[in-house]
Amino acid sequence: MSIINLGLQNVALKRSDMSLDSEIIFKSLGTIEDIRNASSFNQTLSEELKMAIKNTQKTLKTRTERLKLKNQKFKCIEPAALEEINGLFEILGEKIDNTVTQNGTSQNKLRTCVDLQKFIKSHCLIQEYSFQIKKCGESDCLICDPVRLTHEIFNQLHYIPDPQISSNPDHYQDFDSLYGQNTTEKDIPSKKNHHECKELAPSGILVAARVRDFVFCISCSKLRCLFSQYVLDDSDYEALQTAMETFAYTCGSPIVPENHFLYDKVFVRMNLTCNLPIEQVYYSCKIEHSQICYYCGEEDNLVEPLQEILSQFQTVYPLCEVCQERGKNFFTKGKIQM
């Protein structure tokens, strides 16, 4: 991210103007979600907005593609068009699982699509940093076309390995030494417990009574709590919403850059990594919040705890079916003394 930030230094961005009607509608929309929802119902707004940001996109693409990491230039890939997305779901429905819909793509919803899960198990590898698909190589498969390579060459094609720490703990092993080997995700950066760092928030801020909002981590998709000494006024709250849409948040980073005026006013817990569960203050805070799985943050398909567990503990945190199948148990606090 620091390299990308360097590429955007001293850059001012402004979209082109739209028609008066579209500008009036646009000014009434406060968040990216509001804009997305309005565009889905208003085709004119959708098309004019696409045209209005074309020059902005071009500027960002040009600046980004000038950057290098380890002497390799950055590449910008065009986002999938609506027609391509529709085409993908048509193929999914025709060849793999007709119960998959565009409106039902949450982890727990996809888990109920039996044929899709069979396909993922036999043809795919899901990792933290990638989703890989490979022909199964079976001659009687109803999904794959026959393998056109010779079996000798096809059998040498392997999934991309996970990064693995070398004998020097400050460096990873090179790709060639890992390709074709069985690897695990234990060494990927987002799953490593980093050394405890100093919290930016003053003492007494990181408590349930000071939770003002929540933010999603773009890496693990878990909700993290935002804290402030006092309830934010309208202007600060609007600035916070804009900041959350502008800056990509990941666990362990501040919510805004150091030069932002909210840096010393709104805080997020710094000693967080993506492998840590939902903060316990999320469940006890005073602002409205949903019941989500303690381990992964999913809201759907929560398991109903047995009365035996509820009678033994003061607090039983939510658990989803997926995490339960992965061996997780209800996280509890405050054992009741009989």
**With a cut of 70, which residues of the chain have pLDDT below it?**
1-2, 189-197
pLDDT for 187 equals 81
Q: Which of 131, 93, 134, 84 is nearest to 115 (CA)?
A: 93
CB proximity list for 222: less than 8 A, separation 6 or greater: 216, 251, 274, 277, 278, 296, 297
Rounded Cα gap, residues 238 and 229, in angstroms: 17
Cα(first)–Cα(last) distance of the chain, in Å? 53
- Residue 280 · residue 296 · CB < 8 Å: no
pLDDT for 220 equals 84
Dihedral of CA atoms 210, 230, 217, 69 in degrees, nearest 10, equals -130
Q: Give the type of residue at 210.
A: R
pLDDT for 2 equals 66
Q: Which of 319, 307, 231 is nearest to 283 (CA)?
A: 319
pLDDT for 25 equals 92
Rounded Cα gap, residues 221 and 64, in angstroms: 25
- Residue 249 · residue 213 · CB < 8 Å: no
Q: Quick one: how many helices (H) and strands (E) in the chain?
A: 14, 9
Rounded Cα gap, residues 6 and 8, in angstroms: 5
Helix (H) / strand (E) element for 153: namely helix 151-154
Tokens of 261: 């005026």
pLDDT for 105 equals 82
Domain boundaries, the chain: 2-73, 82-160, 162-192, 193-289, 290-338
Tell how far CA 48 is from the center of its chain.
Answer: 28
Rounded Cα gap, residues 137 and 256, in angstroms: 48
DSSP 3-state assignment of 236? helix
pLDDT for 142 equals 87
Rounded Cα gap, residues 294 and 40, in angstroms: 33
Rounded Cα gap, residues 3 and 69, in angstroms: 8
Using only C-alpha atoms, what is the Rg of the chain? 24
Rounded Cα gap, residues 195 and 206, in angstroms: 19
pLDDT for 153 equals 94
Q: Which of 322, 291, 283 is nearest to 107 (CA)?
A: 322
